[in-house]
Amino acid sequence: MQHNVYLYIFVMAGVTYLIRMLPLTLIRKEITNTYIKSFLFYVPYATLAAMTFPTILTSTESPISAGIGFGVALIMAFLEKSLLMVAASGCMVVFIVERILGL
Amino acid sequence: MKKSYLKNGLKDGVPICLGYFAVSFAFGMVAKEMGLSTFQAVLLSITNVTSAGQFGGLNLIAIGAGYYEVICTQIILNLRYSLMSCSLSQKLDSSAGLGHRLLVAYGVTDEIFGVSVSREEKISPYYSYGLIVISVFGWVLGTFLGVVSGKFLPASISSALGIALYGMFLAIIIPPSKTNKVICGVVIISMIGSVLFSILPYLKEISFGFRIIILTLIIAGIAAWLFPVNEEYKEETAHAA
């Protein structure tokens, strides 16, 4: 490593912070344009859905445990359980499927 | 009031903290293998707070890549945060001034963004601080323990925790999908789109960060054009959620 590790770290941090900071500070006013407002309303759903599936299927040791964990989390989410409950039940099911059922 | 916002944020951030712990533990181990000291790994985690960006950055540090390359990689991997920041700029209480916005910006991650937008009402910066403090705590503690222990978490634990953050995302997007058909459509189409990006030739060469940006721009863009949201409709959905 001929470059300075600390310099790398600060370059990475600086770039990442600017990406996060600029829109938050530049857009201070309430947006009134209906199209942009609607777009921003749908953004979280598109973003989070695209991030979750299919990546969730490779998030554990086996696609079987991940698939079953996904199913259970989906049901718990459908029943409108809290974030923690949904996340924890997914984890528990994965644990059970992998360690007790050995799948 | 500030205190109760902070407390709510800390509470809502617990699942993020758990999920982050598992991911950053792995990060700490890899960082050690790449020759980073404990201090450097922890510094990297506390200043960056981004999983893909940090893993990507480690590889570049290891091969001694140029700073220009580091900058480009971080932009590609992390540009999606700017889209989230645009959305948060409207979600954050409009009385929150520049100072608050500069601080809240530090903690714009996929997960903190997800939890923030799942709130019905506008959020106080103190709520964000609560989320950020507990999440970064898990992120940094995991990194530290990953470096010093030098061993992987027991496979059973890390595998089980691996699904935590995705479970949380489902808890955010599924309930509103039940009452709002457009949101439901957006969620399903985005998932199908993401599957296509992970299997089709050419498309699968695109980095995860850009995949998310492309899908979000197209799908939320079309949804906004076909189904513009008016205020009452939006409130109805929020209350149902």
User: What is the ipTM, given to two decimal places?
Assistant: 0.90
Residues of A in contact with B84 (CB under 8 A): 43-44, 47
> Which tens digits make up the pLDDT trace of A57-94?
998 889 999 999 999 999 999 999 988 889 889 999 99
pTM: 0.83
Please report the pLDDT score of residue A1 as a whole number: 45
| Band (B234; pLDDT cuts 50, 70, 90) | low
Residues of B in contact with A46 (CB under 8 A): 186-187, 190, 215-216, 219-220, 223
Q: What are the angstrom distances between the C-alpha of B214 and each of B83, B186, B188?
A: 11, 14, 16
Half-sphere exposure of B158 (CA within 13 A, CB side): 16
- Nearest CA-CA partner of B141 in B22, B9, B6: B22
Contact (CB<8Å) A38/B224: yes
Contact (CB<8Å) B195/A90: no
Structural domain boundaries of chain B?
Answer: 2-168, 180-241
- Determine the distance in angstroms separating the CA of B179 from the nearest CA of chain A, rounded to an integer: 11
> Which tens digits make up the pLDDT trace of B86-133?
999 999 998 888 999 999 999 999 999 999 999 989 999 999 999 999
- Complete DSSP assignment for chain B: -HHHHHHHHHHHTHHHHHHHHHHHHHHHHHHHHTT--HHHHHHHHHHH--HHHHHHHHHHHHHT--HHHHHHHHHHHHTHHHHHHHHHHHHB-TT--HHHHHHHHHT--HHHHHHHHTSSS-B-HHHHHHHHHHHHHHHHHHHHHHHHH-SPPPHHHHHHHTTHHHHHHHHHHHHHHHH-HHHHHHHHHHHHHHHHHHHSTTGGGS-HHHHHHHHHHHHHHHHHHHSPPPHHHHHHHHHH-
Structural domain boundaries of chain A?
Answer: 5-100
